[in-house]
Amino acid sequence: MRQRIHLTSSSDNVRIAWTRAGSGPVLVKASNWLTHLRHDLESPVWRHWVEFLCEHFDSVRFDERGCGVSDREVEDLSEASWLADLECVIDAAQIDRPMILLGMSQGSLAVIQYAAKHPQRVSKLVLYGGYSQGWAVRDASQAQHYRAITEMMRLGWDLENPVFRQAFTARFLPAGTHEQIDWYNDLCRKTVAPEMAVRLLQARAHADITELLGQVRVPTLVLHSRHDEVVPFSEGRKLACGIPGADFVDLDSRNHILLSTEPAWQEFREAVLDFTDAHRAPDPSAEPGPLTRREREILGVLTSGLSNIAIGQQLFISEKTVRNHLSSIYRKTGVNSRAEAIARFGHRV
């Protein structure tokens, strides 16, 4: 993959690094811990996320202030800065139509604030592994635990030996391979300085936007790993209950960052594509034409309610091939979603 990294300046003169790539509906992913626009493309932890977003969306990503390619030495790390930086990047990208917002982990706080403030600019909201309250607000009994973590970060974040960092990072990828965990440990050193890492963790501790949940009026999908060791599963349920009409998908995983090899990643992809209708990529200049034999086969299986993965297994084709055929089926038949296809063709096939 190729990307061009841009810099924009926030209202307090912090330079924020952002990039835009891919095609499809516009999707802006808020920043989260820890990313680095230059290194994510080669990462066994983040690469499949970037590929997925760029394959299906006109995707905008950016590094958080204090991290990655963005300015490393900054003063303000407050909730207000998270929203202001998201607004700044969206303005710099010159997005002139309603967009999908993706908030992962702490990024959920920023996109919820944005959706509540600018509902006319948001078409859909996707929240993964998110929360509305930091750990100090939702569970004060964890204070001693986090004090110990921050002290280890100060002492050992920059050391060659990753033992101190791993006490923190292993919670993000408890089911990761040695290669993935080693890479993530190394990313920490490349992305953020020790004291900034501590400050970012502390800034998240006291965040609380619970009162904004009821103000969100855009279609929302909430996804959360059932055994997430960083953000409790109950926090995902709280988001889904607090946002009017939100859909909720629980994923069978321990990882806070879903890995490409686990079934939960495929479930995440399929849920997001169905929710956003991003699997449709119509070519306005193409003639619709009749359905092919394979497309009729897939439509027949689709109406039985099977997922893309299950359809592929039954027909001995890949999940990506199923998605490509579904895009063609939707274009040729003029339907907008899986549910509409089932409702329209279920009695005919």
157-179: pLDDT as tens digits: 888 888 878 877 888 999 999 89
CATH of span 293-345: 1.10.10.10
- CB-based contact 290:275 (threshold 8 Å): no
What angle (nearest 5°) sits at the alpha carbon of residue 29, between those of residues 197 and 111? Answer: 85
pLDDT at 1: 67
pLDDT at 314: 86
Q: Give the residue with greater pLDDT, 167 vs 279.
A: 167
> What mean pLDDT is predicted for residues 10-32?
96
In angstroms, the CA 216 to CA 213 distance is 6
Res. 279 pLDDT band, cuts 50 70 90: low
Radius of gyration, alpha carbons of the chain: 21
- CB-based contact 232:135 (threshold 8 Å): no
> What mean pLDDT is predicted for residues 308-323?
82
What angle (nearest 5°) sits at the alpha carbon of residue 313, between those of residues 308 and 319? Answer: 40
Q: Return the minimum-mean-pLDDT range out of 31-35, 100-104, 192-196, 306-310.
A: 306-310
Domain at 5-140+206-276, CATH from 3.30.420.40, 1.10.8.80, 3.40.50.300, 3.40.50.1820: 3.40.50.1820
Beta 122-128 vs 247-251: how paired, if at all? unpaired
The label of the residue with tokens 């989260």 reads 32
Q: Sign (positive/negative) of CA torsion 229, 138, 246, 218? A: negative
Q: Sign (positive/negative) of CA torsion 158, 163, 166, 168? A: negative
Percent of the chain scoring above 90 in pLDDT: 64
Q: Return the minimum-mean-pLDDT range out of 94-108, 299-313, 320-334.
A: 320-334
The residue ranges of every structural domain in the chain are 5-140+206-276, 293-345
In angstroms, the CA 250 to CA 212 distance is 23
Assign 3-class secondary structure to 222-254: EEEECCCCCCCHHHHHHHHHHCCCCEEEEECCC
Does residue 218 have a pLDDT over 70? yes
Q: Give the residue with greater pLDDT, 318 vs 347.
A: 318
Q: Give the residue with greater pLDDT, 281 vs 13.
A: 13
Which pTM was predicted? Answer: 0.80
Q: Which two tokens stand for residue 295?
A: 């497309």
How confident is the model over 35-81, as pLDDT tens digits? 999 999 999 999 999 999 999 999 999 999 999 999 999 999 999 99
Q: Return the minimum-mean-pLDDT range out of 7-11, 40-44, 99-103.
A: 40-44
> What mean pLDDT is predicted for residues 131-155?
85
Does residue 286 have a pLDDT over 50? no
Distances (CA, A) of 7 to 59, 101, 187: 16, 20, 21
